[in-house]
């Protein structure tokens, strides 16, 4: 089923160059500097339970599309927070998924799943109503085999390094179990202190308590809060972390006087922080985290612009990460002014910027990364981690920022078995983009061969300091 | 003149697939769920007066382009509101149009007119200064024939259903005359209550009076206003309407407490509504109209983001719809939050969203339609109802929202004889887009053949509940 | 090295058409209606000092890219304002540049430099570490020859007219020297009064003093300020100017009552103008400059949306124009409402609009230029003066505004020897765009042949009234 020329341009000359470039890249190890794989998966190395639990239920890219066409989430077996009964037969969930698989035509989810079914599980039938149960059975049978356990797949996938994403207060116990197990997979945590700085979040107070316990000192002041975070970063570094990550609605940065930060923090501890407090605090903490990165060398990532849980009915019933996060317009030039002016010229600092607002590619992000030594552009994120999305990104940013101010690929996924399909798609698309440059005589073919290795492998390693 | 491969990609493999897909779609009936054809045209079925009155004078796509290059609107025979003398010889208007026809190179207007002249009127000479009068004469001669009357063209065009756009207080007398005439053309009204909710418009008070007369009860309260609108919707439904339409500057939605809506409405009746009142009232009425749609099943359309009559000199002299409406940036994620949270999960509700701000395709619209069951994306609107516009739309939204959350094509035109050219152009462009997916092995060719029928025919019928 | 088919699409049919179109345009004279060449260069006609001083040090497109990858500006020989020692050996600067030349892969700077080295200097080796010194020597040897002096190059480049950019108080002494030298090169000034209206700029007061001296009357009132500007415009016109240029953060226009303008001006003279004053004053001055253009016929250009000197550390150390200007989102529809309503219908007025915010191409700029007789769209500016940038521009605006509401190309450069490469790239890209239309049967080939001359030559001359 999988055509060896898939995703390449149809023009024969361009396709020939793209194919050659892709072949140069295809067997390179996978570098995964940012993602959401649960490290427990690799700590326990248990068999995956069933096809629906593996490929449907936890994947909000899949379930949101079915939901958008009227399929209730209950029928997909997604647990309701109130414990109400939902579909519990994975075969029924799988059948429903197969019945709607045409919805994924020309979507990255469709590409990944097709590739995954054939590439990982050797299934070359098309998924549709009629084939659903046969495919289910074949998958189920394979999932029981040792060679389909997480660690075996990790090795088969040729993953050189995989970074997870972990809360500031995470014990990293799974990471420690992996290390002490003797298994040699290179799994690293990433420091993501979103909850720790979200002073109006219902669970913030508990996170502060936890951080205080970990620091061996109750956190009652902004200063001790900052010290506790610095200590956690050191702990993460000791466990292999090379980066931090920060999800914010807007990348607004602004340094507060010490006294003001202290006042806001105190109000927050009393549960009295206002929305303005929260905004000022986030802006100040981005400055603090940049300072810490300058000092400890952890690469700083910012993922802004997602309005989380837009659909409150779905959020209240099923919780977060259910496909109802909707992007908003995002401003970088003015918002990052304070941070870039203070730290953007620092040689020890790397800041990787992501966006859900593609109008900023040429207007703000490429000019910023094309000037500030600290800044690198993260790969197309989320909705844009796709054939067209990647092509738009490269076509938009390359002329202003070049290739070397981009950060290389990351798969950003919690769907572990989809990792090779995602890297493969990116390598094919980068090969296509480079081939378009070669056949238009903008780039020499030998330069393109050098670049495909950089884009597929080297840049990610270098940007995230994984070498 | 008309090349059978027009608008297809030049790559031979892609063109071959596109051509085959197009041929599958070419003879499908035309479904026209949104447009501005005057129903009187079909009620009276009189011959069109002359080529200039048919193709130039009423078409603001044409006259604005000539105006932009210094041609006074008076010389195009457009009536001034003050009754000042304007060009009254249609031959002179036509000649002037032909003299400037090169301005329409590579524009959709140019494509439609060329297609229309050959496809509808059998004229295969290129329109230019030298050919203007010969073409005028040939057109004039044909317009006098019975087979060029509106109903005959309607049948020849193979229009399955044509929806008009009508004010809330419209008597739908033309629709009734069509029905009682015995002619079988399927013409349906659409409920567009823009004037009824525009509380600062100079003609708003008169519209309210008219609605009160139609309801048999003077409208003195918000509650009776709402009841009168509900009654008008029922009347429209009884006359065949399947949809409503709402033009707003911004799609801001927000529910007011009853008392507040009442207070604003009362101020409006006294002619004392402020700009803030108007904004709040519009936001509240969008909520009300969504509620009504949930209840009565009329499909709700929102067309936001046009700043009407930007050029006041032209507006004051010639009135509205003269090509001087200019788009503004439009926000959907936050503005539609209230409406989508209250009604976006309702299985009986369909909301079709349009935009003049293409930066929202990937950032807001595709993610919203790719999650909320109620939402469908309207086709590229107005300036983007074009080859490049349609390609940008499909390339931008498909990966996130798929094909099945898009609403199919609508021609949105008041230029009746241009309808087949517009559908044909769309079918060719959709065939091109699908062919690009096939030759890149993202889609199987048989899937593409299914999809071209969906995009050209099925989706419009299904979205607008015309089956 | 330079492939004759460079930048054309690889599809053979499209390439064939593009090549033929390009050949039609290739030998047309260069019309340069907007740029930043220092007229002193042509007044003195001295040999260029050395390759680094010619191609590296003054070009912020080059130095910002090297800086973004960690190369200190000091090592590139850029003078620090405080006089600190910087690299003074041009060979070392050139070697460093060559060592990093791979950063410019697929950037317009890379294309221009490659083209310039071969096309102007006959160097066909690729620039890289190993070839750096040989190329340096060859360049140095050629720069010493008479045929590589500025005027000889001007003639060889076939430049028909070259407009410079000059402050309102500029004496235009270099322009006068050129004229009185007997050399026939057509060099014209452009009136750019940015400093004169920037009432909070540290050097504003001095500029007002200078303008007063030139007017022979101290400027103490807004009225005399305006009169002095009008007089300067007349002086510029007498020296050959055909246009003005205005760089603003936002294109906000708004007319102040006389008394209010006077009050703000008085506050500014006392050094007490607020940020709000400055914004209001700029908005009012754009109205004034439009009025003057209606009266004196100078073409008005607006270049909005660049946040200058974003990186304060670089700005303080090295001054302006060092590659740290970052674009911001820009709004035209509402901001230009006042100006367009008052002057946009005037037949004697031409307003050329530029943008760094590509999201406005289809949403605002093309609709505005496709309606208002006064408006023309400037070519893709700065970051978008590139292969992809130009293609995006044409694909975005043509369907709405056509070809004839665009202003033709300008090279906007201070890098004199890069001028032919820039025009050549544009002609190749326009040929590519037109060829895409021809092979898709949207345009006849003979129309495309007419258009390539218009886009490459005629439109620039006509828009800027240089014929």
Q: Between residues 46 and 75 of chain C, which touch chain A (CB distance below 8 Å)? A: 64-65, 67-70
Closest listed residue to residue A240, CA positions, set A157, A174, A303: A174
Q: Which positions in chain B touch A310 (Cβ < 8 Å)?
A: 333, 337, 340-341, 368, 371
Give per-residue pLDDT as tens, A376-430. 999 999 999 999 999 999 999 999 999 999 999 999 999 999 999 999 999 999 9
DSSP symbol at A364: I
Q: Which of B3, B16, B388 to mutate to test the interface with C (most CBs of C within 10 A)?
A: B388
DSSP symbol at A378: P
> Whole-angstrom Cα distance, residue A357 to residue B358?
12
Contacts of residue C359, Cβ cutoff 8 Å, sequence gap at least 6:
A359, A363, B329, B357, B358, B359, C329
State the smallest CA–CA distance between residue A121 and chain B in angstroms: 20
Q: Between residues 115 and 134 of chain C, which touch chain A (CB distance below 8 Å)? A: 126
User: Is the pLDDT score of A1 beyond 90?
Assistant: no
Which chain C residue has its CA at the smallest distance from B111's CA? Answer: C442
Closest listed residue to residue B392, CA positions, set B418, B366, B423: B366
Give per-residue pLDDT as tens, A221-265. 999 999 999 999 999 999 999 999 999 999 999 999 999 999 999
For chain B, say whether A11 makes contact (Cβ under 8 Å). yes
State the smallest CA–CA distance between residue C153 and chain A in angstroms: 26
For chain B, say whether C79 makes contact (Cβ under 8 Å). no
Sheet containing B351-353: order of strands: B166-167, B191-192, B243-248, B299-304, B351-353, B375-377
Nearest to A10 among B11, B370, B402 (CB): B11
> Whole-angstrom Cα distance, residue A89 to residue A75?
10
Q: Which residues pair with A30 in a beta bridge?
A: A159
**Burial code of B316-343, b = ≥16 C-beta within 10 A, e = fewer?**
ebbeebbbbbbbbbbbbbbbbbbbbbbb
CB contact under 8 A, C106 and A436: no
pLDDT (tens place) for every residue of chain B, 467 residues total: 799 999 999 999 999 999 999 999 999 999 999 999 999 999 999 999 999 999 999 999 999 999 999 999 999 999 999 999 999 999 999 999 999 999 999 999 999 999 999 999 999 899 999 999 999 999 999 999 999 999 999 999 999 999 999 999 999 999 999 999 999 999 999 999 999 999 999 999 999 999 999 999 999 999 999 999 999 999 999 999 999 999 999 999 999 999 999 999 999 999 999 999 999 999 999 999 999 999 999 999 999 999 999 999 999 999 999 999 999 999 999 999 999 999 999 999 999 999 999 999 999 999 999 999 999 999 999 999 999 999 999 999 999 999 999 999 999 999 999 999 999 999 999 999 999 999 999 999 999 999 999 999 999 999 999 98
Q: Which of B15, B250, B333 to mutate to test the interface with A (most CBs of A within 10 A)?
A: B333
Q: Which positions in chain C touch B107 (Cβ < 8 Å)?
A: 398-400, 402
Nearest to B371 among A8, A67, A389 (CB): A67
- Give chains near B: 3+ CB pairs under 8 A: A, C
Q: Which positions in chain A touch B11 (Cβ < 8 Å)?
A: 10-11
Q: Which positions in chain B touch A357 (Cβ < 8 Å)?
A: 359, 363
pLDDT for residue C153: 98
How does the average pLDDT of chain A come out, rounded? 97
State the smallest CA–CA distance between residue C118 and chain A in angstroms: 15
CB atoms within 10 A of CB A152: 13
Tell me if the domain spanning B47-147 has CATH number 1.10.2020.10.
Answer: yes
For chain B, say whether C337 makes contact (Cβ under 8 Å). yes
Nearest to C370 among B11, B65, B106 (CB): B65
Q: Between residues 346 and 405 of chain C, which touch chain B (CB distance below 8 Å)? A: 347, 359, 362-364, 366-373, 375, 395-396, 398-405
State the smallest CA–CA distance between residue C399 and chain B in angstroms: 4
* C344 within 8 A of C374, measured Cβ to Cβ: yes
Q: Which positions in chain B touch C305 (Cβ < 8 Å)?
A: none
Q: Which positions in chain A touch C314 (Cβ < 8 Å)?
A: 345
Whether pTM exceeds 0.95: yes
CB contact under 8 A, A402 and C105: yes
Nearest to B328 among C11, C334, C437 (CB): C334
- Give chains near A: 3+ CB pairs under 8 A: B, C
Q: Between residues 214 and 243 of chain A, which touch chain B (CB distance below 8 Å)? A: none
- What B149-156 contacts at long range (C-beta under 8 Å, 24+ apart), as own/partner pairs, is B149/B45, B149/B46, B149/B47, B150/B41, B150/B42, B150/B44, B150/B45, B150/B46, B150/B48, B150/B416, B151/B42, B151/B45, B151/B183, B151/B185, B153/B120, B153/B416, B153/B417, B154/B42, B154/B185, B155/B185
Closest listed residue to residue A345, CA positions, set A379, A368, A377: A368
Nearest to B323 among C369, C371, C444 (CB): C371
In chain C, which residues have pLDDT < 70?
A: none
> Whole-angstrom Cα distance, residue C270 to residue C264?
10
DSSP symbol at C456: I
CB contact under 8 A, A367 and C326: yes
**Extents of the domains making up chain B:** 12-46+148-463, 47-147
For chain A, say whether C81 makes contact (Cβ under 8 Å). no
The encoded tokens of residue B464 equal 């607008």
CB contact under 8 A, A402 and C106: yes
* C417 within 8 A of C153, measured Cβ to Cβ: yes
Nearest to A7 among B345, B400, B440 (CB): B440
Taking CB atoms and an 8 Å cut-off, how many pairs form between chains A and B? Answer: 124
For chain B, say whether C14 makes contact (Cβ under 8 Å). yes
Q: Between residues 398 and 417 of chain B, which touch chain A (CB distance below 8 Å)? A: 398-405
Q: Between residues 171 and 190 of chain B, which touch chain C (CB distance below 8 Å)? A: none
State the smallest CA–CA distance between residue C8 and chain B in angstroms: 14
Q: Which positions in chain C touch A369 (Cβ < 8 Å)?
A: 68
> Whole-angstrom Cα distance, residue C76 to residue C64?
11
Question: Is residue A79 classed exposed, middle or buried when 0-12, 13-18 and 19+ CB atoms within 10 A define those classes?
Answer: middle
CB contact under 8 A, A356 and B368: no
For chain C, say whether B329 makes contact (Cβ under 8 Å). yes
Give per-residue pLDDT as tens, B129-185. 999 999 999 999 999 999 999 999 999 999 999 999 999 999 999 999 999 999 999
Q: Which positions in chain B touch A68 (Cβ < 8 Å)?
A: 369-373, 375, 401, 405
> Whole-angstrom Cα distance, residue B158 to residue B185?
10
pLDDT for residue A467: 86
Nearest to B402 among A103, A324, A356 (CB): A103
Which stretches within A9-143 are classed as H helix? 12-26, 39-44, 51-55, 60-68, 90-99, 108-119, 132-143
Read off φ and ψ for residue A302, nearest 5 degrees: -120, 125
3-state SS assignment for residue C307? strand
Contacts of residue A203, Cβ cutoff 8 Å, sequence gap at least 6:
A195
CB contact under 8 A, B371 and A70: no
Contacts of residue B164, Cβ cutoff 8 Å, sequence gap at least 6:
B35, B36, B37, B38, B39, B175, B187, B188, B189, B190
* A241 within 8 A of A187, measured Cβ to Cβ: no
* A34 within 8 A of B463, measured Cβ to Cβ: no
CB contact under 8 A, A387 and B442: yes
Q: Which positions in chain C touch B435 (Cβ < 8 Å)?
A: none
For chain A, say whether C102 makes contact (Cβ under 8 Å). yes
Fold adopted by A12-46+148-463:
TIM Barrel (3.20.20)
Please give the distance of CA A422 from its chain centroid, rounded to a whole number: 12
CB contact under 8 A, C337 and B9: no
CB contact under 8 A, A327 and B401: no
Which chain A residue has its CA at the smallest distance from C108's CA? Answer: A399
CB contact under 8 A, C359 and B356: no
Please give the distance of CA B126 from its chain centroid, rounded to a whole number: 28
């Amino acid at each position: 089923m999988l055509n060896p020329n898939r995703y390449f341009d149809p023009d024969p000359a361009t396709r020939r160059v793209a194919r050659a470039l892709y072949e140069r890249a295809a067997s390179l190890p996978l570098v995964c500097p940012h993602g959401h794989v649960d490290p427990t998966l690799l700590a326990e190395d248990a068999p995956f339970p069933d096809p629906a639990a593996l490929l449907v239920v936890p994947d909000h890219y899949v379930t949101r599309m079915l939901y958008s066409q009227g399929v209730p989430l209950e029928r997909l077996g997604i647990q309701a927070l109130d414990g109400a009964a939902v579909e519990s037969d994975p075969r029924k969930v799988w059948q429903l998924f197969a019945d709607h698989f045409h919805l994924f035509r020309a979507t990255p989810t469709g590409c990944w799943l097709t590739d995954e079914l054939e590439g990982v599980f050797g299934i070359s039938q098309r998924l549709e109503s009629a084939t659903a149960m046969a495919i289910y059975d074949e998958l189920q049978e394979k999932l029981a085999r040792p060679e389909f356990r997480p660690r075996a797949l990790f090795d088969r996938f040729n993953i050189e390094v995989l970074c997870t994403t972990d809360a500031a207060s995470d014990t990293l116990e799974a990471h420690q179990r992996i290390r002490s197990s003797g298994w040699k997979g290179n799994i690293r945590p990433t420091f993501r202190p979103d909850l720790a700085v979200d002073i109006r979040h219902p669970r913030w107070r508990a996170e502060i308590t936890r951080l205080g316990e970990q620091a061996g000192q109750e956190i009652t002041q902004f200063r001790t809060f900052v010290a506790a975070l610095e200590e956690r970063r050191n702990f993460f570094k000791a466990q292999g972390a090379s980066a931090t990550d920060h999800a914010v609605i807007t990348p607004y940065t602004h340094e507060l006087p010490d006294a003001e930060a202290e006042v806001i923090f105190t109000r927050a501890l009393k549960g009295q922080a206002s929305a303005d407090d929260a905004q000022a605090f986030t802006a100040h903490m981005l400055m603090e985290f940049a300072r810490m990165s300058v000092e400890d060398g952890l690469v700083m990532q910012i993922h802004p612009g997602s309005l989380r849980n837009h659909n409150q009915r779905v959020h209240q019933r099923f919780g977060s990460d259910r496909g109802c996060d909707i992007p908003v317009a995002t401003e970088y030039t003015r918002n990052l002014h304070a941070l870039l002016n203070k730290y953007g010229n620092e040689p020890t600092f790397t800041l990787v910027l992501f966006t859900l607002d593609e109008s900023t590619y040429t207007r703000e992000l490429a000019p910023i990364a094309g000037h500030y030594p600290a800044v690198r552009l993260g790969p197309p994120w989320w909705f844009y981690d796709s054939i067209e999305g990647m092509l738009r990104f490269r076509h938009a940013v390359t002329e202003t920022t070049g290739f070397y101010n981009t950060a290389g690929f990351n798969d950003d996924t919690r769907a572990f078995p989809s990792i090779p399909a995602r890297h493969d798609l990116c390598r094919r698309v980068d090969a296509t983009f480079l081939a378009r440059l070669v056949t238009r005589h903008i780039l020499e073919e030998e330069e393109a061969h050098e670049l495909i290795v950089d884009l597929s492998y080297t840049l990610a390693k270098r940007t995230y300091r994984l070498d």
